Amino acid sequence: MAGATADRICERCSGRGYRVLKLKGRAATARRCECQETCTHCRGSGYVLVPAGASAVAQPCACRHLDERIGLFNAACVPATVARATFDSYKPHHPDQSAAKAAAEDFSKKFRLDRETHGILFYGPPGTGKTHLLAAVVRYLALEKGVACRYVELMLLLSDIRNGIAANRGYVDILRPLTQAPVLVIDELGKERGTDWERSMLDELISRRYNGGLTTLFATNYYREPRKLPSAEGGMVNTRRPDWGRDAEAMTLRERVGDRVFSRISEMCEFRRVEGEDFRPSVIDAWDG
Ligand SMILES: [Zn+2]
Ligand SMILES: [Zn+2]
């Protein structure tokens, strides 16, 4: 085990060998735990000698995998706000949340690069921990399994594309790392304004991933099904087909992202509703693992 010495496991990293830092305003950053600063097997050289018949041959030390995985996590761009999100630090308050956590964990453990895997789309009200689960998936895949992932918040991505185009970069170049990443996580789907241009960018990204058979996960506050919301006069009102922009909160996901993108996502993902109490207070004290 990475952080295990002869007879005891490092308390700082629980034997994982890495720790994740939460730096304000920056993406989550992993680094080697202090217990791994100098590898006891290769003393930092990256190679170990293993016996081969009468002599010995040099082989890459296992600690090199650790650096590769740390590099993958750092390239994934998980937001600092959920830097320390893990499956263990997700504390469900509602059966939906328990089921969502189990689904995310199961997905992560079963994910394999050599076969097509359905993603998950988490939907439900803000504050139920959907972002936490997405971040925990990325962390597990990158740091525990060595899978390259990317995390994007859709509004920020769209603004990066706009800035890139203004600086004479083509949108295809900007999207390339996202269209090619083995696992892509898209947070805040539907929060964009929904202009034709925004829809065409989202369509481009989703279509390329769909055609490539690549796994994508999403989180959104928009529901698959029309729902009833409290009306101003009291009582519940059916919100089917509200006007664009007027009752944006009550729109369905299909109305927000358009038929084409919605239908692709439906084929690429299992939909999972996450209702529940506000989740955020329970994770404030979550300690880095
Ligand atoms: Zn350690
Ligand atoms: Zn080593």
pTM for the structure as a whole? 0.85
The SS3 assignment for 142 reads helix
DSSP 22: -
Asked if residues 59 and 48 have their Cβ atoms less than 8 Å apart, the reply is yes
Ligand nearest to the CA of 19: 1
What tens digit of pLDDT does each residue of 208-230 get?
999 999 999 999 999 988 876 66
Full DSSP string of 253-267? HHHHH-HHHHHHHHH
C-alpha 104 – ligand 1 centre gap (Å): 26
The more confident residue out of 192 and 62 is 192
Going by C-alpha positions, the residue among 269, 267, 81 that lies closest to residue 183 is 269
Closest ligand to the CA of 49: 2
Separation of alpha carbons 72 and 3, rounded Å: 19
Ligand nearest to the CA of residue 33, numbered in listed order: 1
* Gap from CA of 21 to ligand 1 centroid (Å): 14
Least confident of 40-49, 111-120, 250-259: 40-49
∠ CA 252-154-116, nearest 5°, is 85
- Which uninterrupted H or E stretch holds 186? strand 183-187
Q: Whole-angstrom Cα distance, residue 29 to residue 19?
A: 8
Q: What is the Cβ-side half-sphere exposure of residue 126, based on CA atoms within 13 angstroms?
A: 5
pLDDT in tens, 83-121: 989 999 999 999 999 999 999 999 999 999 999 999 999
3-state secondary structure at position 39: coil
Mean pLDDT score, 234-239 = 58
Q: Look-up: residue for tokens 């038929």?
A: 259
Instruction: Give the range among 26-40, 150-164, 218-232 with minimum mean pLDDT.
Output: 218-232
Q: How much distance in Å is there from the Cα of 48 to the middle of ligand 2?
A: 7
For residue 220, give the nearest of 259, 249, 180, 247 by alpha carbon: 249
Helix (H), strand (E), coil (C) string for 54-74: CEEEEEECCHHHHHHHHHHHH
pLDDT at residue 282 is higher than 50: no
Query: Which residues, 6 or more positions from 231, have their beta carbon under 8 angstroms from its beta carbon?
Result: 237
Please report which ligand is nearest the Cα atom of 15: 1
CA 23 / ligand 2 centre spacing (Å): 27
Residue 109 CA: distances (Å) to CA of 24, 73, 184, 188, 278: 30, 17, 16, 24, 27
